[in-house]
Amino acid sequence: MEGEGASARSGYPSSPSSAAPHPNPNPFREAEKKYQLHYDQVMAFSKGKLRGKGEFRERPTDLSEVLDFRSAEPPPGAAALETEAVPSAAAARGLYTLDGHPGFYFVSGLLDESAVEDLAGEILSEHIEPPATSNFTREHGTRIRGLWGAARRGLFYRPGAGGGAGGELPAGGQGCWSAADHPAASQTPAQVLLDRLRWVSLGPQYDWTRRVYRDDVPCRGLPRRLKELADALVRDLRGASGRVQASGGYSADAALLNFYGSKDTLGGHKDDAELDLSQPLVSVSLGCDAVFLLGGTTKGVRPTAMLVRSGDVVVLSGRSRSCFHGVPRIFSKTPRRGGVAGGGKRSPSPSPSLRGYLDEHRINVSVRMVGRGAAGGGGGGEEDGGAGVGA
Ligand SMILES: O=C(O)CCC(=O)C(=O)O
Ligand SMILES: [Fe+2]
Protein backbone atom coordinates (compact mmCIF):
# COMPACT_ATOMS: atom_id res chain seq x y z
CA MET A 1 0.00 0.00 0.00
CA GLU A 2 1.23 3.42 -0.84
CA GLY A 3 -0.15 6.20 1.31
CA GLU A 4 -0.17 7.85 4.64
CA GLY A 5 -2.14 7.20 7.78
CA ALA A 6 -5.14 9.43 8.08
CA SER A 7 -4.16 10.36 11.58
CA ALA A 8 -0.46 10.77 10.85
CA ARG A 9 -0.46 14.42 9.85
CA SER A 10 -2.33 17.46 11.01
CA GLY A 11 -2.55 20.75 9.18
CA TYR A 12 -0.26 22.03 6.45
CA PRO A 13 2.90 24.06 6.47
CA SER A 14 1.92 27.71 6.36
CA SER A 15 2.60 29.49 3.08
CA PRO A 16 5.14 32.32 2.93
CA SER A 17 3.27 35.54 3.66
CA SER A 18 4.10 37.01 0.23
CA ALA A 19 2.43 34.16 -1.65
CA ALA A 20 -1.32 33.70 -1.69
CA PRO A 21 -2.10 30.49 0.16
CA HIS A 22 -3.21 27.67 -2.10
CA PRO A 23 -6.91 27.25 -1.41
CA ASN A 24 -6.78 23.48 -1.32
CA PRO A 25 -3.30 21.97 -1.35
CA ASN A 26 -4.44 18.40 -0.79
CA PRO A 27 -8.09 17.80 -1.57
CA PHE A 28 -7.90 14.17 -0.49
CA ARG A 29 -6.64 15.17 2.94
CA GLU A 30 -9.26 17.91 3.12
CA ALA A 31 -12.00 15.35 2.52
CA GLU A 32 -10.54 13.04 5.17
CA LYS A 33 -10.64 15.86 7.69
CA LYS A 34 -14.18 16.79 6.69
CA TYR A 35 -15.53 13.30 7.35
CA GLN A 36 -13.42 12.24 10.32
CA LEU A 37 -15.00 11.97 13.72
CA HIS A 38 -14.39 15.15 15.73
CA TYR A 39 -15.30 15.88 19.29
CA ASP A 40 -16.00 19.28 20.81
CA GLN A 41 -15.40 19.86 24.48
CA VAL A 42 -18.56 21.26 26.01
CA MET A 43 -18.23 22.88 29.42
CA ALA A 44 -21.16 22.96 31.81
CA PHE A 45 -21.80 26.17 33.73
CA SER A 46 -24.22 26.75 36.53
CA LYS A 47 -24.76 30.17 38.13
CA GLY A 48 -21.76 31.45 36.19
CA LYS A 49 -19.47 28.77 37.57
CA LEU A 50 -17.77 25.93 35.75
CA ARG A 51 -19.21 22.60 36.87
CA GLY A 52 -17.14 19.45 36.44
CA LYS A 53 -14.69 18.84 33.65
CA GLY A 54 -17.17 19.11 30.82
CA GLU A 55 -18.00 16.55 28.18
CA PHE A 56 -16.85 15.65 24.70
CA ARG A 57 -19.68 15.78 22.17
CA GLU A 58 -19.54 14.40 18.68
CA ARG A 59 -19.43 17.26 16.16
CA PRO A 60 -22.14 16.88 13.47
CA THR A 61 -20.70 15.99 10.05
CA ASP A 62 -22.02 17.42 6.81
CA LEU A 63 -22.89 14.34 4.78
CA SER A 64 -24.80 16.22 2.06
CA GLU A 65 -22.12 15.43 -0.55
CA VAL A 66 -21.78 11.76 0.36
CA LEU A 67 -23.27 9.52 -2.35
CA ASP A 68 -25.81 7.02 -1.09
CA PHE A 69 -26.44 4.13 -3.44
CA ARG A 70 -29.41 3.03 -1.38
CA SER A 71 -31.34 6.25 -1.81
CA ALA A 72 -34.53 6.11 -3.88
CA GLU A 73 -32.81 7.59 -6.95
CA PRO A 74 -29.27 6.71 -8.08
CA PRO A 75 -26.95 9.38 -6.67
CA PRO A 76 -25.57 12.09 -8.99
CA GLY A 77 -23.10 10.68 -11.52
CA ALA A 78 -24.12 7.06 -10.95
CA ALA A 79 -25.50 4.91 -13.75
CA ALA A 80 -27.31 1.65 -13.04
CA LEU A 81 -26.26 -1.52 -14.88
CA GLU A 82 -28.65 -4.39 -15.50
CA THR A 83 -28.05 -6.99 -12.82
CA GLU A 84 -29.58 -9.66 -15.12
CA ALA A 85 -26.45 -9.36 -17.20
CA VAL A 86 -24.35 -9.98 -14.09
CA PRO A 87 -25.65 -13.25 -12.62
CA SER A 88 -23.50 -13.15 -9.51
CA ALA A 89 -24.93 -9.70 -8.67
CA ALA A 90 -28.53 -10.66 -9.35
CA ALA A 91 -29.41 -10.61 -5.66
CA ALA A 92 -28.00 -7.11 -5.22
CA ARG A 93 -30.16 -4.04 -4.68
CA GLY A 94 -28.35 -2.33 -7.52
CA LEU A 95 -25.19 -2.28 -9.56
CA TYR A 96 -23.67 1.06 -10.53
CA THR A 97 -20.85 2.76 -12.35
CA LEU A 98 -19.80 6.30 -11.51
CA ASP A 99 -18.89 9.22 -13.79
CA GLY A 100 -15.26 10.22 -13.50
CA HIS A 101 -14.22 6.87 -12.05
CA PRO A 102 -13.77 4.43 -14.95
CA GLY A 103 -13.46 0.84 -13.78
CA PHE A 104 -15.28 1.50 -10.50
CA TYR A 105 -18.35 -0.61 -9.69
CA PHE A 106 -20.63 -0.38 -6.67
CA VAL A 107 -22.72 -3.46 -5.89
CA SER A 108 -25.27 -2.37 -3.33
CA GLY A 109 -26.43 -4.96 -0.80
CA LEU A 110 -24.89 -7.96 -2.54
CA LEU A 111 -24.91 -9.86 0.76
CA ASP A 112 -28.03 -9.84 2.90
CA GLU A 113 -27.67 -9.62 6.67
CA SER A 114 -27.71 -13.38 7.15
CA ALA A 115 -24.92 -13.79 4.56
CA VAL A 116 -23.05 -10.95 6.31
CA GLU A 117 -23.32 -12.73 9.66
CA ASP A 118 -22.22 -16.06 8.15
CA LEU A 119 -19.16 -14.50 6.59
CA ALA A 120 -18.28 -12.38 9.63
CA GLY A 121 -18.66 -15.42 11.90
CA GLU A 122 -16.40 -17.45 9.63
CA ILE A 123 -13.83 -14.63 9.61
CA LEU A 124 -13.75 -14.21 13.39
CA SER A 125 -13.75 -17.87 14.28
CA GLU A 126 -11.58 -19.27 11.46
CA HIS A 127 -9.83 -16.83 9.15
CA ILE A 128 -8.09 -14.69 11.77
CA GLU A 129 -6.44 -17.84 13.18
CA PRO A 130 -2.74 -18.64 12.62
CA PRO A 131 -0.88 -19.03 10.37
CA ALA A 132 -2.56 -15.82 9.13
CA THR A 133 -0.57 -12.84 10.40
CA SER A 134 -2.15 -9.76 11.94
CA ASN A 135 -1.14 -6.46 13.48
CA PHE A 136 -0.37 -8.46 16.65
CA THR A 137 2.30 -10.37 14.75
CA ARG A 138 3.76 -7.12 13.49
CA GLU A 139 3.58 -5.26 16.81
CA HIS A 140 4.40 -8.00 19.31
CA GLY A 141 5.62 -11.01 17.34
CA THR A 142 2.58 -12.82 18.70
CA ARG A 143 0.07 -14.90 16.82
CA ILE A 144 -3.28 -15.14 18.47
CA ARG A 145 -5.19 -18.37 18.61
CA GLY A 146 -8.80 -18.65 19.71
CA LEU A 147 -9.32 -14.89 20.18
CA TRP A 148 -12.99 -14.77 19.16
CA GLY A 149 -13.92 -17.76 21.32
CA ALA A 150 -11.98 -16.33 24.28
CA ALA A 151 -13.67 -12.93 23.89
CA ARG A 152 -17.10 -14.54 23.76
CA ARG A 153 -16.35 -16.52 26.89
CA GLY A 154 -15.06 -13.43 28.70
CA LEU A 155 -11.56 -14.89 29.16
CA PHE A 156 -8.37 -13.05 29.98
CA TYR A 157 -4.93 -13.35 28.47
CA ARG A 158 -2.19 -13.86 31.02
CA PRO A 159 1.32 -13.45 29.65
CA GLY A 160 3.89 -15.94 30.83
CA ALA A 161 1.24 -18.59 31.27
CA GLY A 162 2.30 -20.63 28.28
CA GLY A 163 2.32 -17.98 25.56
CA GLY A 164 3.76 -14.51 25.51
CA ALA A 165 6.11 -12.65 23.21
CA GLY A 166 7.06 -14.74 20.23
CA GLY A 167 4.61 -17.47 21.19
CA GLU A 168 1.03 -18.19 20.37
CA LEU A 169 -1.92 -17.70 22.57
CA PRO A 170 -3.51 -21.11 22.77
CA ALA A 171 -7.21 -21.72 23.10
CA GLY A 172 -8.76 -21.48 26.54
CA GLY A 173 -7.89 -24.24 28.97
CA GLN A 174 -4.27 -24.46 27.85
CA GLY A 175 -2.94 -21.98 30.33
CA CYS A 176 -2.82 -18.70 28.43
CA TRP A 177 -6.46 -17.75 28.33
CA SER A 178 -7.80 -17.76 31.85
CA ALA A 179 -11.07 -17.08 33.59
CA ALA A 180 -11.71 -13.66 35.12
CA ASP A 181 -11.41 -14.91 38.68
CA HIS A 182 -7.62 -15.31 38.43
CA PRO A 183 -6.47 -11.87 39.50
CA ALA A 184 -3.22 -11.03 37.75
CA ALA A 185 -1.87 -7.54 37.37
CA SER A 186 -0.94 -7.99 33.72
CA GLN A 187 -3.92 -9.90 32.42
CA THR A 188 -5.78 -8.46 29.45
CA PRO A 189 -9.42 -9.18 28.64
CA ALA A 190 -9.70 -11.05 25.35
CA GLN A 191 -12.21 -8.47 24.26
CA VAL A 192 -9.68 -5.67 24.66
CA LEU A 193 -7.36 -7.66 22.39
CA LEU A 194 -10.26 -8.18 19.98
CA ASP A 195 -10.82 -4.41 19.91
CA ARG A 196 -7.13 -4.00 19.06
CA LEU A 197 -7.31 -6.36 16.10
CA ARG A 198 -6.76 -4.10 13.09
CA TRP A 199 -5.83 -6.30 10.14
CA VAL A 200 -5.25 -9.88 9.10
CA SER A 201 -3.59 -11.09 5.91
CA LEU A 202 -5.12 -14.08 4.08
CA GLY A 203 -3.34 -16.05 1.38
CA PRO A 204 0.23 -14.88 0.66
CA GLN A 205 1.14 -12.81 3.72
CA TYR A 206 1.49 -9.07 3.25
CA ASP A 207 4.54 -7.45 4.80
CA TRP A 208 3.48 -3.94 5.79
CA THR A 209 7.03 -2.76 6.41
CA ARG A 210 8.48 -3.76 3.07
CA ARG A 211 5.13 -3.48 1.29
CA VAL A 212 5.47 -6.83 -0.43
CA TYR A 213 3.69 -10.16 -0.34
CA ARG A 214 5.98 -12.79 1.12
CA ASP A 215 6.39 -16.19 -0.41
CA ASP A 216 8.68 -17.47 2.37
CA VAL A 217 6.18 -17.68 5.23
CA PRO A 218 3.51 -20.35 5.69
CA CYS A 219 -0.01 -19.42 4.72
CA ARG A 220 -3.36 -20.98 4.00
CA GLY A 221 -5.08 -20.45 0.68
CA LEU A 222 -7.72 -17.76 0.29
CA PRO A 223 -10.93 -19.05 1.95
CA ARG A 224 -13.20 -20.66 -0.66
CA ARG A 225 -16.20 -18.41 -0.01
CA LEU A 226 -14.16 -15.26 -0.65
CA LYS A 227 -12.50 -16.67 -3.73
CA GLU A 228 -15.81 -17.78 -5.23
CA LEU A 229 -17.46 -14.44 -4.56
CA ALA A 230 -14.65 -12.38 -6.12
CA ASP A 231 -13.99 -14.72 -9.08
CA ALA A 232 -17.68 -14.88 -10.01
CA LEU A 233 -18.25 -11.13 -9.69
CA VAL A 234 -15.20 -10.20 -11.77
CA ARG A 235 -16.05 -12.79 -14.44
CA ASP A 236 -19.66 -11.63 -14.67
CA LEU A 237 -18.85 -7.92 -14.66
CA ARG A 238 -16.31 -8.44 -17.37
CA GLY A 239 -18.83 -10.40 -19.41
CA ALA A 240 -21.54 -7.78 -18.90
CA SER A 241 -19.70 -4.59 -19.58
CA GLY A 242 -16.37 -5.53 -21.07
CA ARG A 243 -15.06 -2.75 -18.90
CA VAL A 244 -13.56 -4.74 -16.05
CA GLN A 245 -10.10 -4.91 -17.50
CA ALA A 246 -7.69 -7.69 -16.75
CA SER A 247 -4.74 -9.13 -18.57
CA GLY A 248 -5.40 -12.84 -18.72
CA GLY A 249 -7.57 -14.71 -16.26
CA TYR A 250 -8.48 -13.32 -12.89
CA SER A 251 -8.05 -15.71 -10.00
CA ALA A 252 -8.32 -14.24 -6.51
CA ASP A 253 -5.65 -15.60 -4.19
CA ALA A 254 -5.30 -13.13 -1.28
CA ALA A 255 -7.26 -10.76 0.91
CA LEU A 256 -6.62 -8.17 3.58
CA LEU A 257 -9.12 -8.05 6.40
CA ASN A 258 -9.44 -4.64 8.05
CA PHE A 259 -11.22 -4.35 11.38
CA TYR A 260 -12.51 -0.91 12.35
CA GLY A 261 -13.83 0.31 15.65
CA SER A 262 -15.91 3.48 15.73
CA LYS A 263 -12.85 5.75 15.94
CA ASP A 264 -10.68 3.96 13.41
CA THR A 265 -9.82 5.23 9.96
CA LEU A 266 -7.89 4.00 6.97
CA GLY A 267 -5.64 6.65 5.48
CA GLY A 268 -5.68 7.40 1.76
CA HIS A 269 -3.53 4.91 -0.14
CA LYS A 270 -3.15 2.97 -3.36
CA ASP A 271 -2.85 -0.79 -3.39
CA ASP A 272 0.16 -1.37 -5.58
CA ALA A 273 2.02 -4.40 -4.22
CA GLU A 274 0.23 -6.92 -6.43
CA LEU A 275 2.07 -8.16 -9.53
CA ASP A 276 -0.55 -7.23 -12.08
CA LEU A 277 -2.32 -3.98 -11.28
CA SER A 278 -4.75 -4.54 -14.11
CA GLN A 279 -6.42 -7.23 -12.00
CA PRO A 280 -9.36 -5.84 -10.00
CA LEU A 281 -9.75 -5.40 -6.25
CA VAL A 282 -13.03 -6.65 -4.79
CA SER A 283 -13.88 -5.08 -1.45
CA VAL A 284 -16.69 -6.40 0.77
CA SER A 285 -18.13 -4.39 3.70
CA LEU A 286 -19.57 -6.06 6.80
CA GLY A 287 -21.04 -4.35 9.87
CA CYS A 288 -21.10 -0.62 10.48
CA ASP A 289 -21.71 1.92 7.73
CA ALA A 290 -18.68 3.92 6.65
CA VAL A 291 -17.62 6.78 4.40
CA PHE A 292 -15.42 5.54 1.55
CA LEU A 293 -13.35 8.06 -0.41
CA LEU A 294 -12.32 7.36 -3.98
CA GLY A 295 -9.89 9.83 -5.47
CA GLY A 296 -7.58 10.02 -8.45
CA THR A 297 -4.05 8.86 -9.11
CA THR A 298 -2.73 11.69 -6.92
CA LYS A 299 -4.05 13.25 -3.75
CA GLY A 300 -4.41 16.48 -5.70
CA VAL A 301 -7.69 15.16 -7.08
CA ARG A 302 -10.82 15.81 -5.03
CA PRO A 303 -12.22 12.42 -4.02
CA THR A 304 -15.81 11.25 -4.30
CA ALA A 305 -17.29 10.34 -0.93
CA MET A 306 -19.82 7.52 -0.69
CA LEU A 307 -21.57 5.52 2.00
CA VAL A 308 -20.63 1.85 2.14
CA ARG A 309 -22.99 -0.35 4.12
CA SER A 310 -23.02 -3.89 5.38
CA GLY A 311 -23.23 -6.26 2.41
CA ASP A 312 -22.06 -3.70 -0.19
CA VAL A 313 -19.22 -4.61 -2.52
CA VAL A 314 -16.91 -2.19 -4.29
CA VAL A 315 -14.84 -3.23 -7.31
CA LEU A 316 -11.80 -1.20 -8.32
CA SER A 317 -10.62 -2.08 -11.81
CA GLY A 318 -9.17 -0.28 -14.80
CA ARG A 319 -8.11 3.26 -13.95
CA SER A 320 -9.79 3.20 -10.53
CA ARG A 321 -7.50 0.32 -9.51
CA SER A 322 -4.61 2.81 -9.35
CA CYS A 323 -6.49 5.50 -7.47
CA PHE A 324 -6.19 6.72 -3.90
CA HIS A 325 -8.91 5.54 -1.59
CA GLY A 326 -9.52 5.43 2.15
CA VAL A 327 -12.06 5.25 4.95
CA PRO A 328 -12.21 8.38 7.13
CA ARG A 329 -15.33 7.49 9.09
CA ILE A 330 -17.14 4.60 10.71
CA PHE A 331 -20.69 4.96 12.05
CA SER A 332 -21.14 2.76 15.08
CA LYS A 333 -24.71 1.58 15.67
CA THR A 334 -24.23 1.79 19.43
CA PRO A 335 -24.45 5.42 20.52
CA ARG A 336 -21.11 6.65 21.80
CA ARG A 337 -21.25 8.06 25.26
CA GLY A 338 -19.67 11.49 25.36
CA GLY A 339 -16.52 10.88 27.35
CA VAL A 340 -15.67 13.02 30.32
CA ALA A 341 -12.90 15.45 29.47
CA GLY A 342 -9.53 14.07 30.45
CA GLY A 343 -10.72 10.47 30.50
CA GLY A 344 -13.71 8.72 29.12
CA LYS A 345 -12.19 5.58 27.56
CA ARG A 346 -14.90 3.15 26.69
CA SER A 347 -14.47 -0.21 28.31
CA PRO A 348 -15.60 -3.03 26.07
CA SER A 349 -18.72 -4.90 27.05
CA PRO A 350 -17.98 -8.47 28.08
CA SER A 351 -18.71 -11.48 25.92
CA PRO A 352 -19.73 -9.92 22.60
CA SER A 353 -22.24 -11.60 20.35
CA LEU A 354 -21.59 -11.56 16.62
CA ARG A 355 -24.44 -9.07 16.16
CA GLY A 356 -23.05 -6.92 18.97
CA TYR A 357 -19.60 -6.96 17.36
CA LEU A 358 -21.02 -5.95 13.96
CA ASP A 359 -23.03 -3.13 15.54
CA GLU A 360 -19.82 -1.57 16.84
CA HIS A 361 -17.29 -2.58 14.20
CA ARG A 362 -16.79 -2.74 10.50
CA ILE A 363 -14.94 -5.57 8.82
CA ASN A 364 -13.69 -4.96 5.31
CA VAL A 365 -12.46 -7.81 3.16
CA SER A 366 -10.44 -6.63 0.18
CA VAL A 367 -9.84 -9.56 -2.11
CA ARG A 368 -6.97 -9.41 -4.56
CA MET A 369 -5.03 -11.36 -7.10
CA VAL A 370 -1.41 -11.21 -6.04
CA GLY A 371 -0.14 -13.59 -8.70
CA ARG A 372 2.44 -16.32 -8.30
CA GLY A 373 5.72 -15.36 -6.71
CA ALA A 374 4.56 -11.78 -6.31
CA ALA A 375 7.20 -9.65 -4.69
CA GLY A 376 6.89 -6.17 -6.17
CA GLY A 377 6.21 -3.40 -3.71
CA GLY A 378 5.08 -0.83 -6.21
CA GLY A 379 6.91 2.36 -7.05
CA GLY A 380 8.51 4.63 -4.49
CA GLY A 381 6.36 7.66 -3.86
CA GLU A 382 4.89 8.50 -0.52
CA GLU A 383 6.02 6.47 2.42
CA ASP A 384 3.44 4.27 4.03
CA GLY A 385 2.93 6.09 7.30
CA GLY A 386 0.45 3.54 8.49
CA ALA A 387 -2.10 2.98 5.81
CA GLY A 388 -3.26 0.16 8.05
CA VAL A 389 -6.26 1.02 10.11
CA GLY A 390 -5.33 3.62 12.70
CA ALA A 391 -7.30 5.04 15.58
O1 LIG B 1 -12.08 -0.68 4.30
C2 LIG B 1 -12.22 -0.40 3.12
O3 LIG B 1 -13.31 -0.17 2.60
C4 LIG B 1 -11.00 -0.30 2.22
C5 LIG B 1 -9.92 -1.26 2.55
C6 LIG B 1 -8.72 -1.07 1.68
O7 LIG B 1 -8.63 -0.12 0.98
C8 LIG B 1 -7.63 -2.04 1.70
O9 LIG B 1 -7.67 -3.02 2.46
O10 LIG B 1 -6.68 -1.85 0.93
FE1 LIG C 1 -6.95 -0.31 -0.37
Q: What is the C-alpha to C-alpha distance for residues 238 and 236, in angstroms, rounded to an integer?
A: 5
Q: What is the C-alpha to C-alpha distance for residues 102 and 332, in angstroms, rounded to an integer?
A: 31
Hey, whose CA ends up nearest to atom 3 of ligand 1? 364
Tell whether ligand 1 has an atom less than 6 A from the beta carbon of residue 237: no
**Ligand 1 centroid, distance to 130 Cα (angstroms):** 22
119-144 pLDDT, tens digit per residue, is 999 999 999 998 999 998 877 766 77
Segment 273-296 mean pLDDT: 96
**Ligand 1 centroid, distance to 311 Cα (angstroms):** 14
- Cβ contact 267:4 at 8 Å: yes
| Pairwise pLDDT comparison (386 vs 146), residue with the higher score | 146
Tell whether ligand 1 has an atom less than 6 A from the beta carbon of residue 366: yes
Segment 95-109 mean pLDDT: 97
**Ligand 1 centroid, distance to 258 Cα (angstroms):** 7
Alpha carbon separation from 175 to 155, 162, 169, 242, 384 (Å, rounded): 11, 6, 9, 56, 38
Please state whether beta strands 78-80 and 199-202 pair in parallel, antiparallel, or not at all (unpaired). Answer: unpaired
Mean pLDDT, the chain, whole residue set: 82
How open is the CA angle 369-370-374, to the nearest 5 degrees?
160
294-310 pLDDT, tens digit per residue, is 999 999 999 999 999 99
Q: What is the C-alpha to C-alpha distance for residues 355 and 375, in angstroms, rounded to an integer?
A: 38
pLDDT band for position 169 (cuts 50, 70, 90): low
Tell whether ligand 1 has an atom less than 6 A from the beta carbon of residue 364: yes
Residue 20 has a pLDDT of 59
- Spell 133-166 as b/e; 16+ CB within 10 A means b: bbbbbbeeebbbbbbbebbbeebbbbbebebbee
Tell whether ligand 1 has an atom less than 6 A from the beta carbon of residue 258: yes
pLDDT band for position 215 (cuts 50, 70, 90): confident
All structural domains of the chain, each given as residue ranges with its CATH number in brackets, are 25-37+63-129+200-334+353-371 (2.60.120.590), 136-159+180-196 (no CATH)
User: Smallest Cα–Cα separation from 251: which of 233, 266, 263, 273?
Assistant: 233
